[in-house]
Amino acid sequence: MRRAARQQRFPRLAIVLAAGTCLCAAISLVASATTNSANTVELIRIDGSINAAVAEFIEDSLADAVQRNARAMVIELDTPGGLLSSAQRIVKDLLGAQVPVIVYVEPAGASAASAGMFVTLAANIAAMAPGTTIGAAHPVELSGGGLTGAVGQKIENFTASLAQAIARQRGRNQKWVEDAVRESVAIGEHQAVDQHVIDLVARDLDDLFAQANGRRVKVGNEERVLQLAGANVYRRKMTPGQRLLDTLSDPNIVYLLITAGLLGLYFEFSHPGALFPGIAGAICLLLALASFEVLPINLSGLLLLLLGAGLLMAEAFIPTHGVVAFGGIVSFVLGSLFFVDSSQTNQYVSRSLIAGTAVAVAVIFIGIGMLIVRRRHGSVMTGREGLVGEIGEVLLEIAPGIPGRIFIHGENWRAVSDEPVKTGERVRVEEVSGMEMKVRRVDSQRTFES
């Protein structure tokens, strides 16, 4: 009995010891992770346009940096601009961040233009690498110039007041940021430091950490001292979904997707059963629709684009001597120019891409349509109707009122004729009725001519 009781105690004791060991290891790992994360600087890179995907990426990164108890978050920035609405969203997140944020414009040749300027101004520490620029934040129109009229003035005033509010919040040069919006002023890194637009110029990350270390910054309602010496850098990247949306924020890519989608569906409708063009076209159109989440699309421009494609399709079936085709090309080009809402972003579809695509689309649409019409109105080459006019050989003698048999296209057919035809002679098919052919004899001269 005692021996059995002891044998039962040993497994229980082993389980308790194992559980205790696992608990201690877990506590040690958590403590180690907390210690390491407290000595971490989170680093992300924005290399491209400012859009909704980038705004979401920055939001997630800020939340992750707070969760890790990171000392700061650094944004390496190189952008030509982007959506004003996305820039506002990012500015709101940076101004209310619970972790110090450093925006570092790099490498040499990089810029923080347009929407990128607002992101840089909103950081606790704004830094630039040698050979970089900041500014040129004036709203643009389709032609690339400034917006005019009452609407243009309203957008300009709003953008200037937003820039001034950010500069006032971070203690930067309000006069200069207003000029950057109203006059498209842009300056280099040394001028930016001298005019109190940014805080410092750094050669690289190590130099940035060395210069920013010990500086006091305002995070929320409290002041913090940046402690960046010896910090570990944790690089965070976009999720696959964010990378896809970021790629689809390029209006040139979206424009090509819509064009490819329309061509694919047109080819599928004109050649039913091809499958691949229809599937590929549908995928391209769905990807283009997904991009509408991150790119401001002008509805009028999109409708003009679709109308132009429809008119080019119609030209192949309606004999208008090019009138409909001309209207389709004009509508397609105008829709391409107005495709992106320029009041919300400085991005637009490349003019050279529009010209090349318009010519290619016109040639493809009209060319495919003409081939379809030609085939529909051409002579029948297959089936029973395709046998009319063909020459065969008599297998069984034919007499008026008495059918015989002929061999044609590898098949044995019943045949009748108004004249007697002997076995072995050649005949030409005049008519096909059901399973019977009406034929006539072909003499040597006619055969030679045929």
Residue type for position 269: F
Across the range 355-372, mean pLDDT stands at 76
- 102 vs 346, more confident: 102
Segment of 7-16, 287-296, 365-374 carrying the highest mean pLDDT: 287-296
Query: What is the fold, at CATH topology level, of the domain defined by 39-236?
Result: 2-enoyl-CoA Hydratase; Chain A, domain 1 (3.90.226)
Tell me the CB-side half-sphere exposure of residue 97, using CA atoms within 13 A: 34
Please state which of the ranges 287-296, 316-325, 348-357, 432-441 shows the lowest mean pLDDT.
316-325
**What per-residue confidence (pLDDT) applies to 32?**
39
Q: Are 406 and 431 in contact (CB under 8 A)?
A: no
- 183 vs 343, more confident: 183
* pTM of this structure: 0.67
What tokens appear for 151 in the block? 């609407």
Provide DSSP, 329-350: HHHHHHHHHTSB-TTTBS----
Radius of gyration of the chain (CA): 37
Q: Do the domains 39-236 and 385-449 sit in the same CATH topology, yes or no?
A: no
What tokens appear for 177 in the block? 């940021």
Torsion of CA 248, 249, 250, 256, to 10 degrees: 40
- 60 vs 433, more confident: 60
pLDDT tens sequence across 130-187:
999 999 887 765 444 455 566 668 888 888 999 999 999 999 999 999 999 999 899 9
Domain spans of the chain, in order of start: 1-35, 39-236, 248-377, 385-449
The residue whose two tokens read 């689309």 is 361
- Using DSSP's 3-state secondary structure scheme, residue 330 falls into helix
Above 70 in pLDDT, residue 406? Answer: yes
State the CATH class of domain 385-449.
mainly beta
pLDDT tens sequence across 255-281:
899 888 888 887 777 676 677 888 898
Residue closest to 191 by CA, chosen among 207, 173, 178, 203: 173
